[in-house]
Chains A and B, each alone.
Chain A
């Protein structure tokens, strides 16, 4: 008799448990929705990209240049431009981002840090379309054209703009990595008589190197995926020949997609321009996915160490 009543007691309220189960399932669906999104992205990219690959004339994929409206889809052209702009961007973002991160993490006293940190945070909040405008109307005439013979649109101006956009990301990820280095390492270094700058260069920097590398890879990934700055300041809207000179206009993968899409109505009837959009998108997706996976591994290494 006693055991029987005990069991019923512990079962509790049936309706309450049922409600609990339903709620749990609803939340699970919300979490699983992200997987649906991933699948949808991959399927929509792969579907049209496959149509492109199966119908395109293979020779037009690496000859002459990128002129999708004339049926010339030289993929290397836009990949080269993408890498060139990412390279220029990193020339800007690495010194600015790393320099700011090292100063904020190691040299600035707490009060100064509170004063200076917002510079990076405000910079991070500026939308890319605003930086695109800035690259077009200020960086291009005041910096690029002043020191070279480049025209209004150039990959150099776009690259500097993208670099400014990438700086906060590089700064915040590498600052986190350096702040994760335990104080005891620094104290040991001071104990041996090293001064601040030696400690930073010989102890803190090597200890945080995984995170710093991760920040750089993330920066490259962000620079490759950036659209508006390149589209507005890079020029070559109709397409371009293969070109290695950053002072010339150039279209990255993202800018090529944006300029194709802006004229979607005209493009619809013309060959494979619409499908090429998805092929380029798939390439971009795979490139950034690989870079992010590598940087994720580096970040995790820092976390495991300390």
Chain B
């Protein structure tokens, strides 16, 4: 009798558990908390952008975007613009691309296509991962101690008292800074190419380089390109190492009559550095409006680059 009662109630419990909707208060609180964290991140992002847009709006409204983007640096708040900084950032990024892409992609090709899994290869791999984790300011020290001197010694030191503290040294430093990331993303893109592609190439008698050149690289190109665009965006927004290797943080004039060579090897500044120096400028309008306006220009460039990378990946990425 007792067992029968127990079994009935057990059946009821099971039935209820299977049918009834389970309501777990703790579970809902937990999920709500997690969602709240994610929404907090969103709120921070929205606040950040709204605050900066609000600060920048007067500048763009009164002077127009074109005027702000095409005016050179100035100490006067109503005429200061970012053309000098854009020029510096663009030449810096170009040098980064010219130096870091060939070396980075070459290194990735070696590690992924040529190297056998031996101690030297593993050491190089570990070394690259470690380099990727080194804080950017330490690369600034490398630039200060080695690259600036090197640039001066080989005759690219520039006019006057520049002594190698120019965009060439900055570009080389930044290229070394992003090199590990270029290698890692390019390696991943190469790894995504299935080995059957390579084997087919070897099967018809192609050498390893011919296989890479005609089959692996074209297949991996979208992935490599996406990664490298993101890397350039990173270099474009990086500030700290530049401060160490003598970027101009104040006002300077490039000199109207300076030759192209003098301009390239002379004083320079970059967009993120202008953001930095304007946000500590006590003069009226610099911190409140001009710095946000420069940030908007910086963010537009970076978001465009990111969007381009994503589009490129979605458009050309092949699923094997």
- The interface of chain A, by Cβ under 8 A from chain B, is 16-17, 19-20, 23-24, 26-35, 37-38, 40-41, 44-45, 47-48, 95-96, 98-100, 102-104, 107, 116, 119-120, 122-123, 125-134, 136-138, 164, 167, 193, 195-198, 200-201, 218, 221, 224-228, 231-232, 254, 257-258, 261-262, 264, 277-278, 281, 284-285, 288-289, 292-293, 296
Contact = CB atoms under 8 A, between A and B. Distances in A.
Given A195-B22, A278-B141, A99 B240 contact: no
A254 B146 contact: no
Contact of B47 (A31, A138, A284): A138
A138 B137 contact: no
Contacts, number: 242
The interface size bin for chain B is 35 or more
B34 interface: yes
Nearest to B132: A292
A31 B104 CA distance: 8
A30 B124 CA distance: 11
Given A27-B106, A27-B107, A96-B41, A296 B129 contact: yes
A4 B103 CA distance: 43
Contacts of B48: 126, 130-131, 134, 138
Contacts of A227: 135-137, 239-240, 243
Given A31-B111, A40-B142, A225 B209 contact: no
Contacts of A29: 106
B15 to A, nearest CB: 14
B129 A102 contact: no
B10 interface: no
Given A41-B142, A129-B239, A261-B243, 4 more contacts: A34-B179, A34-B183, A129-B237, A130-B275
B214 interface: no
Interface of B: 17, 22, 24, 26-28, 30-31, 33-38, 40-42, 44-45, 47-48, 51-52, 55, 102-104, 106-107, 109-111, 113-115, 123-124, 127-131, 133-142, 144-146, 176, 179-180, 183, 207-209, 233, 237-240, 243-244, 246, 249, 272-273, 275-276, 279-280, 287, 291-292, 295, 298-299, 302-303, 306
Contact of A130 (B111, B137, B298): B298
Nearest to A29: B106
B124 A35 contact: yes
A127 B239 contact: yes
A49 B42 CA distance: 43
A32 B303 CA distance: 33
A285 B130 CA distance: 10
A99 B34 CA distance: 5
Given A127-B298, A261-B140, A20 B207 contact: yes
A31 B112 CA distance: 11
Nearest to B306: A125
- Which 4 residue pairs are nearest across A and B when measured between Cβ atoms? A225-B135, A99-B37, A127-B237, A30-B106
A103 B38 contact: yes
Contact of A133 (B31, B109, B279): B279
A254 B41 contact: no
B29 to A, nearest CB: 9
Contacts of B207: 16-17, 19-20
Contacts of A197: 24, 26-28, 30-31
